[in-house]
Amino acid sequence: MSPKHLENMYDAVIVGAGAAGLSAALGLLRSPEVGDMRASGTEPKILVISKLQPLRSHTGSAEGGIAAALGNVEQDDWQWHYYDTVKGGDWLVDQDAAKLLAQYAPETVINLERQGVAFSRTEDGHIAQRRFGGHTRDFGGNAVKRAAYAADRVGHQILHTLWQQCVANGVDFAEEWYVTDLVLDDERSRVAGVVAFDTHAGTLHAVHARNVLLATGGAGRLFHTTSNSWDLTGDGMALALAAGLQLEDAEFVQFHPTGLAHTGILLSEAARAEGGVLRNARGEAFMERYAPGHGDLAARDVVSRSIMAEIDAGRGVVDPKEPNGPKDCVWLDLTGIDAEHMERTLPEVVETIRAYANLDPTRDLVPVKPTAHYTMGGIPITTDGEVYRWEDGRRAVIEGLFAAGECSCVSVHGANRLGGNSLLDACLFGTRAGKAIAARLDAPAAGTDDVDPAVDTAASARKSDLDALLSAQRDNEDNPYRLMADLGIVMEQAAAVRCSEGTLAKAADALDGELASRAAALTAHEHSPAFNQEVTAIWEARHLIMLGKAVLTASDARHESRGSLKRTDYPQRDDEHFLAHSMTDASHTVAWQPVHIVDVEPKKREY
C-alpha cells in the first residue's frame, strides 16, 4: 500500500512499523498538540514508511513477555525492576533512563491492555505474569514473576493491537518502501528528510520532513545463526553511520541461550520460566554450578556463556538431525512440564519444536545453542528519543531527528538486556519520542514548506546508484544473499558469545577486503526496478558490512569483558577505564561517553 500522494513537506516521517514506530505514531497523534491542531482545522502530515507490511514486523515474533512490576501474582516493586535492569546490564546502563523504564512499565502495560492486547489472565482476572531471567525481588533476591504474557505470543498481540489503533487513527502508511538515505543539512545539525524506494513501482522518492524517527529494528542478520527475521539488516543504524552520526555501544550483541539447534529459531525464555531445564551430555542440570539460586533463569549472557563453557569442556551434544555433526549443543529438557500445561502456555514453542526438529517436547530432549538475538547498542538517543552526537564532552542533539526501539540506544539495556525489557523499551520510549515530536509541531518552522535541496540531491545520487545496479553487465555469479551468508559466518567465528583481538582482526580484514570488494561489485540479475528484491538486498548487504565494521571496531576498542561481550584476552570487567559508552562512527573512530550513575553504585555482578 502506498500513500495516495506525497506531501511537499511532512511534519513527521516514521521509518519502521514495529512496536516502536507504531507506538511513536500513536504517541504523536494522541498528544495535546495534535488535538489542538485538529481543533483548529489543521491535520498534521505524518507518514509511516515500512519495508514490510506492518503486520510482518519482527515485533510479532516476540514470545515470552513484557516486564512490569504489576505485582499481580507476587509482591513486586518498580525499584526492584530498576535495580535488576542496572545489574543485568552490568552497570553500563544509564540509570536515569532505567528509572523511567521501570517506573512507567506498569502504566505502559495497562495502556496496552486498554487498547486491546489480550494478555493471559490469572484466575481472578488480572494480567498473568511469569518469571524471566534476571528479574528478582528485594534487590537481587529470589526470582519474581514480573513478565506479563499472552501465552507465548505476546509480540503478535502487541503488534496487531498497535497496528489496528494506527489504522483507526488514520495513519498514512507507505508499505514495502525501503529507505536508502537519511539526509541531514550541510552542518549535520538538523534533519532534512529521507530518500525512499517504492519496491512495487521501482521508483525513488525524496521525502522532505521537519522530523524523522528511525524505528527500524535490530541487526541479527550480521550473524549466521540468529533468531531475527530475514529483514533485520541494521538499516537504521547503517543510515545513521552513513549520515555521519555515531553508534553507541555497538559491541554489545545479545545471544539468546536457547536457539533451536542449527536453525537459530528462538525457543522462548518462557520455556525455562515454566520449568524447562538445560542439561549437558551427562544429563546434568549444569546451570546451578554457574548461577547458584538462579540456575536456568540467570541473565541471558550468563546462560549463553555457560552453555558455551559446557560445549568447550566436551559436554555438548549432537543435533539428532545431524548425527554425524559436531557436539555443539546442549539439551533443553521440557519433559518435567505437564503436557496439557505446556500446550496451553507454550503453544509457539511446542509447535516450533515439532515442525523444525521433528521432536515431541513432552517426551524428547531438545537440542539448543545460543543464537544472535538482540543489539543492545544503536543510535544514541536521549530519554525523549532525540538523536545526538557525542562531541567535546557533550550531547549535540540533531534537530528534528529521533529514534526508538532496537535500532536506538537510550541505554536501558547496557551490556546485556533482561528478558521482557525489549517490548517495554519499544513501547515506552517509542511513545515518549512521539510525544516529543508533537511538542515540536509548535516550533517556528512548523507549517512552512521550505524544503532542503539536500534531499533532492541525495535522491538524484541514489537514482544514479540504482541505474548502475540495473544496467551493469554481470561478469560473475556473486549475489547479495551469498555475500550476507558469508558475512554471517565471518562475524560468528569472530564475535559470537566470545572474541579476542585475533578473531576481531581476522574478521576486520575480511570485511575491509574481500567482503567490501564483493559488495561494491554487486549488480542485479534483472534489469527492471519494479518488484526487484535483489536491489534492496544489495543495499542491505552494504548496510550490514558497514555495521559489521562498527561492531568489530567497538569490540576491539573495549579491553574488558562486560555483559554480552566476553573478551578471552581481557577476561575481567574494568570499571576504571571502561565504565563508559563507546561512540563509534563510520571512520572507525571511537569516543567514550561516561555512564549516567544515579544511585546504584557498580559492584561485582553475581547471580
Q: How far apart are CA 72 and CA 75, in angstroms?
A: 7
Decide if 152 contacts 172 (C-beta within 8 A). Answer: no
CB 179 within 8 A of CB 373: no
Per DSSP, helices labelled H in 227-385 are 235-242, 270-273, 287-290, 300-312, 339-345, 347-357
CB neighbours of 230 closer than 8 A, spacing ≥ 6? 221
CA 430, CA 3: separation in Å to the nearest integer?
A: 23
Q: Do residues 217 and 16 make contact, with C-beta atoms less than 8 angstroms apart?
A: yes
Cell numbers given for 218: 535490530
Burial category of 47 from C-beta neighbours within 10 Å (exposed 0-12, middle 13-18, buried 19 and up) = buried
Question: CA 230, 14, 183 angle in degrees (round to 5)?
Answer: 95
The three three-digit cell numbers of residue 466, written as one number: 540504482
Torsion sign across C-alpha atoms 240, 372, 58, 377? negative
Would you say 525 and 475 are in contact if contact means Cβ atoms under 8 Å apart?
no
Q: Minimal CA–CA distance to 214: which of 166, 188, 181?
A: 181
Cα first-last separation, the chain = 49
- Nearest CA among 326, 421, 477 for reference residue 104: 421
300 catalytic? Reply is yes
Alpha-carbon distance of 61 to 64, in angstroms, equals: 10
State the catalytic residue, choosing from 56, 221, 300, 305: 300
Catalytic sites, residue numbers: 300
